[in-house]
Amino acid sequence: MKKKKIEIFGLVVNILLTILFTATLLITFNKHIANIPEEQEIILLLIIFFSIYITMYLQLIIHELGHLIFGLLSGYKFSSFRVGNIMLLKQGKKFKFKKIKIAGTAGQCLMSPPDLKNDKMPVLLYNLGGALLNVISCIIFFIIYLFVKENNLISIIFELSIAYGIYFAALNAIPMKTGTIDNDGYNALSLILNPNSQKAMWTQLKVNELISKGTRLKNMPDEWFYIPKPIEMRNSLIATVAVFTCNRLIDQHNFDEANDKMKQILRAKTAIVGIHRNLLVCDRIYCELLNDNKTAAKKLMTNELKNFMNSMKDFPTIIRTNYTYALLVENDIDKANKYKKQFIEIGKTYPYQSDIRSEKELIDIVTNINKNK
């Protein structure tokens, strides 16, 4: 019930912020439209819409730069920087551009964490750095605006930059849990209220660091992976460790054990974020189909899950699930082969090749099962 209230609060705040932001855009438009000749209104409208697009991405980049800058100041090291589906990834001493789309996120800056000291590390500046830099940029843009406000066209850009900056800062800093992911403010609150979550966050960042270097989950230290106690699973950061543990069992091909643990986790009251919960269900479908349990797989393939899978259709785990379902449930070889071709194409630009190798093995297992039917 508490989780539901938090999600409702997040939804209400999100809606209010969006309404306030939309109202700000309308006020800005009406103010400027009143100051120009009628024949120039279409031109101004085009400029405003273009400015909305540009300033949105400007503040998105500023937000992720905030995580990067304040992360570096806190002792973290660069790992990856993503805006939209374009990611700049550090692999060894080289930087490479890759493509990845993650539902519920417009961007993300992931970093390698500093060493733990008594299971603790600096977390607040890294988590809230994005919103903080949005606010700082608003102050800078407002100062510049004071000098250019008489220029109708130039002032639009700075007004919209300020509006987006405030919107992004509030949307990320006010603790919200909206279902798919937890925002920065919610994570920061979790880290403050539960010191154990700092170690969990460190584990997540270390796992991501090693994956970016090509290490598979099955080859990572055993002590990083475990199923937390039920009360700890009410913290979303700690609950993610359980998700990684199940993912590792899949990578080790311990499918029955993975399925048993996923069943227990998905039935329990936990704070697992929506994206991880849905990916666990995808893994459950895979495990059930390996045991030829089509009834269970069909039951798990709900409309809600299908919508999620469609929003993440280029994600390797989703492609593997679609391939497995098409081949072992629908008996549609042509459809399955399309997913296989899609997987090969995605693998060329996907940032984490260790995941691609793992998923390819899982696809090959299904291919062999189908051949031997």
Instruction: At 161, list the tokens.
Output: 């930059």
Residue-by-residue pLDDT tens, the chain, 373 positions: 444 555 566 667 777 777 877 777 777 777 766 666 666 667 777 877 888 889 889 999 999 999 999 999 999 999 999 998 899 999 888 899 998 888 778 889 999 999 999 889 999 999 999 999 999 999 999 999 999 888 777 888 898 899 889 989 988 888 887 667 788 988 998 898 888 899 999 999 999 999 999 999 999 999 999 999 999 998 999 999 999 999 999 999 999 999 999 999 999 989 898 999 999 999 999 999 999 999 999 999 999 999 999 999 999 999 999 999 999 999 999 999 999 999 999 999 999 999 999 999 999 999 999 888 7
> Do residues 63 and 172 make contact, with C-beta atoms less than 8 angstroms apart?
yes
Distance CA 117, CA 119 (A): 5
The pLDDT score that the predictor gives to residue 201 is 95
Specify burial of residue 247 (Cβ count, 10 A radius: 0-12, 13-18, 19+): buried
- Residue 156 sits at the vertex; the CA angle it makes with 141 and 13, to the nearest 5 degrees, is 70
Q: Is 313 helix (H, G, I), strand (E, B) or coil?
A: coil
Which are the contacts of 315, defined by CB distance < 8 A and separation ≥ 6? 100, 101, 102
Q: Is 211 helix (H, G, I), strand (E, B) or coil?
A: helix
The pLDDT score that the predictor gives to residue 36 is 67
Instruction: At 150, list the tokens.
Output: 């008489």
**Intra-chain end-to-end CA distance of the chain, in Å:** 46
Residue 95 dihedral angles phi and psi, to the nearest 5°: -110, 130
- Please state, in angstroms and as integers, the Cα–Cα distance from residue 113 to each residue in 79, 110, 213, 293, following that order: 10, 9, 15, 41
Distance CA 27, CA 92 (A): 49
For the question of whether the overall pTM of this predicted structure is more than 0.85, the answer is yes
Distance CA 294, CA 291 (A): 9
Q: Which DSSP state fits 232?
A: G
Q: Domain-by-domain residue ranges, the chain?
A: 2-76+113-173, 200-371
The pLDDT score that the predictor gives to residue 30 is 72
135-166 as b/e, with b when 16 or more CB fall inside 10 Å? eebbeebeeebeeeeeebeebbbbbbbbbbbb
Q: Is 182 helix (H, G, I), strand (E, B) or coil?
A: strand
65-90 as b/e, with b when 16 or more CB fall inside 10 Å? bbbbbbbeebebebbbbbbeeebebb
The pLDDT score that the predictor gives to residue 157 is 86
Distance CA 307, CA 64 (A): 28
Give the sign of the dihedral formed by CA 31, CA 37, CA 39, CA 40.
Answer: negative
Distance CA 302, CA 294 (A): 14
The letter for the amino acid at 40 is: Q
- The edge-to-edge listing of strands for the beta sheet with 77-83 is 94-99, 86-91, 77-83, 107-112
Distance CA 289, CA 297 (A): 7
> Do residues 322 and 309 make contact, with C-beta atoms less than 8 angstroms apart?
yes
The closest of 53, 54, 111, 55 to 82, measured between CA atoms, is: 111
**Residues, the chain:** 373
Cβ atoms within 10 Å, residue 281: 20
The distance from CA 8 to its chain's CA centroid, rounded to whole angstroms, is 20
Q: Is 93 helix (H, G, I), strand (E, B) or coil?
A: coil
Instruction: At 121, list the tokens.
Output: 């590390």
Cβ atoms within 10 Å, residue 188: 21
The pLDDT score that the predictor gives to residue 136 is 97
The pLDDT score that the predictor gives to residue 1 is 40
Distance CA 316, CA 68 (A): 27
The distance from CA 265 to its chain's CA centroid, rounded to whole angstroms, is 21
